[in-house]
């Protein structure tokens, strides 16, 4: 019998999550079978689609997502570190 603590922990968490979802569905119930969407949600989804198509036309269909020139850097590069070390000495 092979008992692995982490496997036991994952199984326990998985079972707890599934039971929690099951309990939430029991309390909330399932959505009605109507095809009507709230007008606010429909407008949001429609505006999201138009923004994506306009961006695709502007950037080009072959460009990878996030490859735009307005990307923020999240830290210092090696060049920045070398320049600050050279300035300090």
Domain boundaries, the chain: 1-28
Cα(41)–Cα(11) distance, integer angstroms: 37
Q: What is the DSSP letter of 72?
A: P
What pLDDT is attached to residue 41?
78
Please say if the pLDDT value at position 13 is more than 90.
yes
Identify the residue with better confidence: 64 or 14: 14
Which helix H or strand E contains 82, and what residues bound it? helix 78-88
pLDDT in tens, 43-75: 887 877 676 666 666 655 555 555 556 767 777
Tell me the residue ranges of DSSP E strands in 1-89: none
The position carrying tokens 């080009």 is 60
Identify the residue with better confidence: 76 or 83: 83
pLDDT in tens, 19-38: 998 888 888 777 666 667 77
Confidence of residue 14 (pLDDT cuts 50, 70, 90): very high
């Amino acid at each position: 019998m092979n008992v692995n603590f982490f496997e036991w922990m994952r199984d326990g968490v998985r079972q707890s999550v599934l039971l929690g979802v099951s309990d939430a569905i029991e309390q909330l119930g399932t959505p009605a079978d109507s095809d009507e969407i709230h007008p606010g949600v429909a407008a949001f989804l429609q505006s999201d689609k138009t923004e994506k198509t306009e961006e695709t036309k502007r950037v080009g269909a072959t460009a990878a997502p996030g490859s735009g020139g307005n990307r923020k850097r999240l830290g210092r590069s090696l060049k920045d570190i070398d320049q600050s070390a050279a300035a300090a000495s």
